[in-house]
Structure 1
Amino acid sequence: MSTITRMHGGPRMSQIVTHNGTIYLAGQVGNATDDVAAQTQTCLDKIDALLAEAGSDKTRILQTVIWLADMSDFAAMNDVWDAWVPEGHTPARACGEAKLATPDYRVEFTVIAAQS
């Protein structure tokens, strides 16, 4: 049986789960008082740190799912995303609109990546 490793776990979820060389990150949100661009950058910074801790980086992202509280923020979020994602390493991606945990959250990212 292969090992499942859970990091930064609490009663509801773990921030990182690894299994068979694949990394699953919990949804990442920014600071609720920030605009969507700043929230996006905070999310991506968190993703960088969590992937590094799990033995990977953004060039190894397989899939990203992005939830926006309002699709009118799509362009502003993409401006930050496009500057962050490495050319030639764009993952499979989906983006949709959803109510997030609080009305002040504008964006949330989930990531699946391969370990290095």
Structure 2
Amino acid sequence: MSIERIESTERMSRIVKHNNTVYLCGQTAGEAQWDIAEQTQRCLDKIDALLEKAGSHRNQLLSVTIYIRDMKDFAAMNAVWDAWVADSEKPARACVEARMARPEILVEFSVTAAY
């Protein structure tokens, strides 16, 4: 069984590849001056870059779980998400309200994709 870990630290790997599946670590973009739309776009840009590094693409997304600090931001986050997936195959998706590791983080994405 082959498992490839990319950009590993003592705590985690940013990318794990196993059995034609890519797992990305949680993607955040928490700067206090960024609103939910800016944080969402920056997270999605990071996801694109990591998928490319892993030999995958957003058309190969299998599942995305979105953690959002406050559901009042759900519509604004979805506007950015909908534009990002507009011309792509749609993954299975869940979105839940969650307490974040730092107060400036408004959204976090957990991604699984094929490659």
Structures share a fold, TM > 0.5?
A: yes
Match of 1:18 in 2: 17
- Alpha-carbon distance between aligned partners in 2 of 1:31 and 1:98, rounded to the nearest angstrom: 14
Structure 2 unmatched ranges of 5 or more: none
Contact kept, 8 Å, 1:60 with 1:89, in 2: the verdict is yes
Show the 5 A alignment for 1:38-57.
Answer: 38-57=38-57
Show the 5 A alignment for 1:18-37.
Answer: 18-33=17-32, 34-37=34-37
Once superposed, which parts of structure 1, at least 4 consecutive aligned residues long, lie more than 6 Å away?
none
Deviation of residue 88 (structure 1)?
5.5
SS at match of 2:25: strand
Deviation of residue 102 (structure 1)?
0.3
Deviation of residue 101 (structure 1)?
1.0
- Check if 1:60 corresponds to 2:60: yes
Deviation of residue 86 (structure 1)?
3.9
Contact kept, 8 Å, 1:58 with 1:86, in 2: the verdict is no
Residues 14-65 of structure 1 deviation map (CA, whole Å, 9 limit, x = unaligned): 1000001100000000132210000000000000000000001000000000
Q: Count residues in correspondence.
A: 114
Amino acid corresponding to residue 66 of structure 1 in structure 2: I
Report the TM-score when normalising by structure 2: 0.96
Match of 1:114 in 2: 114
Match of 2:73 in 1: 73
SS at match of 1:76: helix
